Amino acid sequence: MRGAMIYAPGDIRFETLDDPEILNPTDAIIRTAVTCVCGSDLWPYRGLEQADEPHPMGHEYVGFVEEVGSEVTSVKQGQFVIGSFATSDNTCANCLNGFQSSCLHREFMTTCQADRIRIPNAQGTLVATEHVPGKELWPSLLAVSDVMGTGWWAADAAEVKPGSTAVVVGDGAVGLCAVIAAREMGAERIIAMSRHASRQKLAREFGATDIVAERGEEGVERIRELTGGIGADSVLECVGTNEAMQQALHSARPGGNVGFVGVPHDVGVDGQELFFSHVGLRGGPAPVRRYLPDLVGRVLTGAIEPGRVFDLTLPLDEVAEGYRAMDERRAIKTLLKP
């Protein structure tokens, strides 16, 4: 098969690789329908995460089941399936508590920018659709496997409620999907923090009622102006930098909540400041599997269309250009077609 490998910062290569095989009876092999480049893939691409040796890339996927291990009965050959970037058995105590991304048998997907993929813990990870969806729905179903599920977790962790005010920090794919999530959860006011006209436009189409272009202290001050000097009920941090975290924490009202889903890089939280702020803080890798049936259903009925975050589509063998386009902010998110 063919797949993407990273050799060093800025060095993505598309190569012939060994075909995936069933290694455990809980595995499945799927043929990729579509895959993509994630904003978090840019951390190693930019050299902000160390890559000691060449390794495959990609953790978002939808596809067709080609083979299953002897213990996999939840999906069968030929079915169209969606899974999470964090695999799970969906039966352990953490899974049953709704935190499948902390499954006791969790494995993170890292090989998805490829023609074919081995899925560990397939029994608990994969969700099959009743019929093969139309190709026009594939991008949105792909988004559900990570960025839409992660945006949903941001809103859930921040306890967005009907009639509330929500602030979304970050205008990448996750942040834009978080706008969708806040809207679906009933937020009356959704303030998207974005400096980029194309992303502002999409945020408004997804449900944002206000746009704040300022960052840092100026951004916080603008949020307070829009919320009567108090701050927002819920703040969704979808970046992972210290600046974004501080902006999120300072934009929440006393008693408000911050849901943080951007993978943290050099983020520091002052415990005493947090203590006296009365702001709740929750985050981590999104338990996408918890939300998959609901989100897949919303896509299939047309209630949400998160696939619109893909503004660049390339053949899989041009994956390196997909990384470059996102790194240079020429694209929000790159869809890759095998």
Sketch out the chain's domains with CATH numbers: 2-146+287-337 (3.90.180.10), 149-283 (3.40.50.720)
pLDDT in tens, 107-133: 999 999 999 999 999 999 999 999 999
CB atoms within 10 A of CB 229: 9
Nearest of 35, 40, 39, 43 to residue 14 by alpha carbon:
35
pLDDT reported for residue 62: 98
pLDDT reported for residue 52: 75
CB atoms within 10 A of CB 268: 9
Q: Are 316 and 113 in contact (CB under 8 A)?
A: yes
Assess whether pLDDT exceeds 90 at residue 9: yes
Q: What is the pTM of this model?
A: 0.96
Give the integer Cα–Cα distance in Å for 239 and 248.
10
The DSSP string of 217-241 is HHHHHHHHHHTTTS-EEEEEE-S-B
Give the integer Cα–Cα distance in Å for 126 and 78.
13
CA 202 to chain centre: 17
Q: pLDDT band for position 12 (50/70/90)?
A: very high
pLDDT reported for residue 148: 98
pLDDT reported for residue 50: 77
pLDDT in tens, 23-54: 999 999 999 999 999 999 999 999 988 777 89
